[in-house]
Amino acid sequence: MSLQPGASILIEPATRLLGQITVPGDKSVSHRYAILAALAEGDSCVSGYGPGADCASTLACLRQLGADVRFDARGTLQVPGRGLRGLSAPHAALDAGNSGTTLRLLAGVVAAHPFVATLTGDASLRRRPMRRVVVPLERMGARIETVENRPPLTVHGGDLRGIDVTPEVPSAQVKSAILLAGLQATGTTVVREPASTRDHTELALEAFGVRVTRQGTAIGVQGLQRMSGRNVTVPGDLSSAAFWAVAAAALPGSELIVEGVGLNATRTAVLGVLARAGARVEQTVTDIRHGEPVGRLVVRHERLESFVVTPAEVPLLIDELPALAALAAFGGGMQVTGAAELRAKESDRITALVTGLTALGAAAVELPDGFRLDPGARLTGGRADACGDHRLAMAFAIAALGATGPSEILGAGSVDVSYPGFFDVLRSLRA
Ligand code: S3P
C-alpha cells in the first residue's frame, strides 16, 4: 500500500500481534555506507540499503555531486568511488528532503571540496538548527552562509585543517559531519562528545579501512587516509523494529520476532526500557557485520508498568521516545525529562506527541524538556495529526491499537521517510 504524503489512515484497535518479520535497512547506517563508498577509491556494493525517502535523498545528493550511484537488478546499490575530495560541484542546490542526517553529514563532506554547494530541504528541515555543524566546520576552514543558522546552507568549501572540538549538543550527526570533514582535512580531528551517541560513523570508517581512535567519548581521525571500495550489508533498522517491539510489549498475548536487525549497543537502550516497563525482551547477536552486531529480537507481552526515562539515557534513545510514548499510552504511563532536543527533530516532537496522544484520549502533559503520560484508562481513539513526522505517524498508529474505538492518523503517508510498507506489515501482524 502506497500512501500520498498527506494521506490519513484509519486504525482499528487490535487484540494482539503475532509474527516473524524483518525490517528495512537501517537509515543511519545506509547514509554512512553510501557517503563513504562515494569517497572511497574503487567500487562498492551496498546490500540492504534503506528503502525510505531519507536514504533516497542522500543518493540524489550524491548523484548531483558526480557519484554515479545506482541500484542493480537485485536491489544492491552500486557505488563507483570518487576518492577523497573527488566529488564535483553540483549544478543546483542539494535537496536533502526531510533528512537532517543527509544535510548535516553532506555539509561535512562538501566543506572539504573546492567549490560552493547549497544544501536545503523541505519545510521541516529548513526549520532545524544548523549552528551545531556550521561552527565547527567554519573552524576547520570552510565558510558557510545560513538563514539565521537554518537551511539553506551555502558551503564555500576548500582546504580544511583538523580540529579538537566538543560539540554543543550530543549528536551523532554533528560528530559525523566533523569526522567526515576531518577525514578530508590535514592533521588530526578529535571530537569530544558531551555524551555518547550512536557510533555508526566510527564503525563504517573502520569498515572502509580508516584508522579511528577512541578514548572514552573522544573520537579521533587522522586526515587524508584513503579508503578503498567495499561490499557491505546494512542491518535491519532497530528504530523501525522498536514500533513492533512496543506493540508486542503492550498487547497481551503478543509475541514478535524480528530477524536480521541491528543490535549495536549505541542503539539498544530502548530495549532496556521495554524490559523495565514489564516486557520480556530477548536479543541474540548472530553476526558481526563490518563491526555492526546483527541478530534476532524477540519481544513478548508480560505486564505493563510505569517507567521513567532519565536525562542521561536520552541521547541513546532519542529516536525511540515517540514509540515509548505509545507504549505508555496503553495505560502504564511514563515520564521523560532532559529531552528538549526532541523539539528540534522532524517536528517539535514534544508538542506534537502530547497533542496527538491527547487527541486519542491520553492524559499527556507537556514539560519544557520532555513529557509525562499519567497512568490510567485505555485510549478512546480519535484523530491525531502526525504533523508530517514519520515517527509520530507510527507512534500514533501503535498507540491507536490499544484504544477502545477507531482512530484516524493524519499525515500517515510520512511513514515513507523511514518505513515504506509500515501499514502493510501492521495488517499482516494482527492476530
Ligand atoms: C542520526 C542521529 C540522530 C537521530 C537521527 C539519525 C544519525 O540525530 O535523531 O534520526 O543517523 O546520525 P542527532 O545526531 O541530531 O541527535
Q: pLDDT tens, 48-70?
A: 999 999 999 999 999 999 999 99
In the predicted structure, residue 18 carries a pLDDT above the cut 80: yes
Alpha carbon distance 384, 351 (integer Å): 12
Alpha carbon distance 105, 54 (integer Å): 13
Q: Tell which residue, 271, 302, 261, 256, has the closest CA to residue 430.
A: 256
Pick from 179, 318, 418 the residue to mutate for probing ligand 1's pocket: most ligand atoms within 8 Å of its CB. Answer: 318
Confidence category of residue 377, pLDDT binned at 50, 70, 90: confident
Percentage with pLDDT > 90 across the chain:
98
- Would you say 102 and 31 are in contact if contact means Cβ atoms under 8 Å apart? yes
In the predicted structure, residue 198 carries a pLDDT above the cut 90: yes
Q: Which residues line ligand 1 (CB under 6 A)?
A: 28, 101, 171-173, 176, 197-198, 318-319
> What is the average pLDDT score of the chain?
98
The average pLDDT across 316-324 equals 98
Pick from 173, 178, 196, 392 the residue to mutate for probing ligand 1's pocket: most ligand atoms within 8 Å of its CB. Answer: 173
What pLDDT was estimated at residue 393?
Answer: 98
pTM metric for this prediction: 0.98
What pLDDT was estimated at residue 102?
Answer: 99
Q: Tell which residue, 396, 421, 398, 424, has the closest CA to residue 411.
A: 396
Confidence category of residue 1, pLDDT binned at 50, 70, 90: confident
In the predicted structure, residue 206 carries a pLDDT above the cut 90: yes
In the predicted structure, residue 265 carries a pLDDT above the cut 80: yes
Residue identifier of the C-alpha nearest atom 9 of ligand 1: 319
In the predicted structure, residue 210 carries a pLDDT above the cut 80: yes
The average pLDDT across 340-369 equals 98
Residue identifier of the C-alpha nearest atom 16 of ligand 1: 171
What pLDDT was estimated at residue 4?
Answer: 77
In the predicted structure, residue 2 carries a pLDDT above the cut 80: no
What pLDDT was estimated at residue 259?
Answer: 98
Confidence category of residue 230, pLDDT binned at 50, 70, 90: very high
**Which are the contacts of 330, defined by CB distance < 8 A and separation ≥ 6?**
250, 251, 304, 378, 379, 399, 402
The average pLDDT across 330-343 equals 98
Sketch out the chain's domains with CATH numbers: 9-23+235-429 (3.65.10.10), 27-233 (3.65.10.10)
- Bond from prior residue into 136 cis (ω within 30 degrees of 0): no
Q: Tell which residue, 44, 39, 47, has the closest CA to residue 227.
A: 39
Which one-letter DSSP state was computed for residue 126?
A: G
- Would you say 207 and 167 are in contact if contact means Cβ atoms under 8 Å apart? no
List, for residues 109-131, the tens digit of each pLDDT value. Answer: 999 999 999 999 999 999 999 99
Residue identifier of the C-alpha nearest atom 10 of ligand 1: 319
